[in-house]
Chain A
Amino acid sequence: MAEPCAELHVVENLHLSLPDMTRKPIFGAAPRIEILRGISFALAKGSVVGIVGGSGSGKSTLGRAMVRLLEPTGGRVLFDGIDITHRGEAGLRPLRRRFQMIFQDPTSSLNPRHRVRTIIAEPLRLHGFADIDARVVRALDQVGLAREMAGRFPHELSGGQRQRVGIARAIALEPDFILADEIVSGLDVSSQAQVLNLLERLVRDLGLTLAFISHDLSVIRRLCSRVIVLRQGAVVEDRPTADLFAAPAAEYTRELLASIPLPDPDQTWG
């Protein structure tokens, strides 16, 4: 990996809490649930960082706060030095092109009424790109989808193809940063491998900064140079992947590592 030249995405002491409506009293405010409790890290330009954690660890919430689908209740989010923590939607719009997201479930994240062409072209149109048709074709080529797929609806594609459309939509905007939220967990093993290969190649070719959220350490090991381990909304470990797999410091990381099914149960990761 190239030496990091600058920090692209910085998260400082991030807090996020949501009201718990199930325990809301009839009068007065609902008690709040702390989801993120003071998370800090910085992602270097061009780095590929895995964010891992069990269910309920806050990794998806963290991701959504990083691309400002959620507004943090404390701390700061800096994108390329710009404070986006509390920016309104109008203020975010010009920046939106630069940080994109690939969603977990492409069945839900691709509008079932739009054709693939529209799905990829609409964000380009919104950001005022020229020669949109050519860009759509290029994006399809880059993710290895046949050009005639542009005329199809999402339900006419396989799961792996749908996720490629999600990737194509994100990279077509030529972003600096992509957040991938559990993007292979809904796919079968061979599609997973294909999508991971594709992502690896795109990150290298396009010089992207990637935050890859997963509950699966074996996927992270394959793709990422650095791992951030989350537990109950706090960072428990933040180290280079090789170090982490060789000697996990936190008990929680050891548990996560132990939960990876190995082809040979007697073998260890070291």
Chain B
Amino acid sequence: MADGRGTIRRRAGLRLWLAGGWLALLALAAILAPWIAPADPLAQDLLGGRLPPIWVRGADPQYLLGTDSLGRDVLSRILWGARIALIVAALAGTATALIGATLGLLAGFLRGWVDLLISRLIDIWMAFPPVLFSILLIAVTGPGLGPIILAIVVIDWTRFARVVRAEAMAQGAMDYVASARVAGRGRIGTMLREILPNVVPTIVVLLTLEMGISVIVEAILSFVNLSISTDQPTWGGMIAEGRTSIHQAWWVLVFPLIALFLTVLSFSQLGEGLKDRFDPVLR
């Protein structure tokens, strides 16, 4: 009866390593920012404004990636900006996942009036234009880290709720759910012990996507000056400032943009990679 089926394991792909590697590097940079940043991210040097990155002629070796129009060090600002980006990604992503997945799971598995209530709520919620909704929300609460996280959670929980609901409905039709009933397991027990483990991979993939989206949303809100106060460097704020001087100092715009791009890409690739790893059927 023994065969090889129990011994097959899949190796983590290159994708997972690259994405995880970049995010780990970023997390490290965010944590160590006060020690590794070469300059104070807020210190202005009005005589050394718009200095190009080190490999371009006319650069000051003190500023590796150049300075912006106020003479602030771009590299230091990116490192400090990583803090905000990752805090928003982690907190907003997790909170969104918790709330959305819980509601989706309840609606998809319990069905009946619970589903009716939650589904209608999702429909109504999704009729609001998300960007306007978040701008309105922050206009009411005032800018800051907390309001940004709240805005992301309030807008994006429907993404989790819809997908998890559909997944829970599909899983609920499987015979292992009927089998749990025959074994005498209650509804909530079945939902948590039988359905939830089968929905977790979906939640994880969505969570990583949501973290990427959170980083973008934070950048967008910074771009329209609704994010965190200007004495905290954020990638979105840097991009907004760099846009005005793109013809004189491209580096002010391009470097935070690259950081943003790589981070969002890494989050989505991490999700894909983890999905493969988590699925015992694919493993």
Residues of chain A whose beta carbon lies under 8 Å from any beta carbon of chain B: 64, 67, 69, 89, 92-93, 96-97, 99-101, 103-105, 108-114, 122-123, 126-127, 145-146, 148-149, 151-153, 155-158, 161, 169, 173
A109 touches B176 (CB 8 A): yes
Instruction: Name the residue of chain B whose CB is nearest to the CB of A124.
Output: B183
Q: Given contacts A127-B184, A155-B280, are A113 and B197 in contact (CB under 8 A)?
A: yes
**Does A105 contact B175, Cβ atoms closer than 8 Å?**
yes
Q: Please give the distance in Å from B216's CB to the nearest CB on chain A.
A: 32
A67, A105, A148, A153: which contacts B182 (Cβ < 8 A)? A67
Give the chain B neighbours of A113 by CB distance below 8 A: 197-198, 280
Closest 5 CB pairs of A and B: A123-B183, A96-B184, A109-B175, A113-B197, A156-B5
Q: What is the bound-complex CA distance between A67 and B174, given in angstroms?
A: 17
Flag the segment in B30-38, B105-113, B186-194, B245-253 that touches A: B186-194
B185 within 8 A of A: yes
Q: Which chain A residues lie closer than 8 Å to B1 at the CB level? A: 145-146, 149, 161
B179 within 8 A of A: yes
What residues on B are CB-neighbors of A157 within 8 Å? 5
Residues of B near A92 (CB, < 8 A) are 184
In angstroms, Cα B181 to Cα A67, docked, is 10
Interface size on B, residues (CB 8 A): 24
A109 contacts across to B, CB distance below 8 A: 174-176, 178-179
User: Which single residue of chain B is at the shortest CB-CB distance from A96?
Assistant: B184
The reply on B129 being an interface residue by CB < 8 A is no
20 contacts between A and B (CB under 8 A): A69-B182, A89-B186, A100-B182, A101-B179, A101-B182, A103-B175, A103-B179, A105-B175, A108-B174, A108-B175, A109-B175, A110-B176, A111-B194, A111-B197, A114-B197, A122-B193, A123-B183, A127-B183, A155-B281, A156-B5
**B195 smallest CB distance to A (angstroms):** 9
Shortest beta-carbon distance from A102 to chain B in Å:
9
Q: Give the residues in chain A near B5, CB-CB below 8 Å.
A: 152, 155-158
Q: Label chain B's interface by main secondary structure.
A: helix
In the complex, what's the smallest C-beta–C-beta distance from B198 to chain A, in angstroms?
6
Contact A156 B6 (CB under 8 A): yes
Give CA–CA (A127, B2) in the complex, Å.
Answer: 31
**In angstroms, how far is the closest chain B Cβ from the Cβ of A77?**
15
Give B193 Cβ to nearest chain A Cβ, in Å. Answer: 7
> Do A153 and B179 touch across chains, with their CB atoms under 8 A apart?
no
Q: A161 contacts which chain B residues (CB < 8 A)?
A: 1
Taken residue by residue from 162 to 185, chain B's Cβ proximity to chain A (1 for < 8 Å, 0 otherwise) reads as 000000000000111011111111
Digitize B120-151: 1 where CB-to-A-CB distance is under 8 Å, 0 elsewhere: 00000000000000000000000000000000
A126 contacts B176, C-beta separation under 8 Å: no
B197 touches A126 (CB 8 A): no
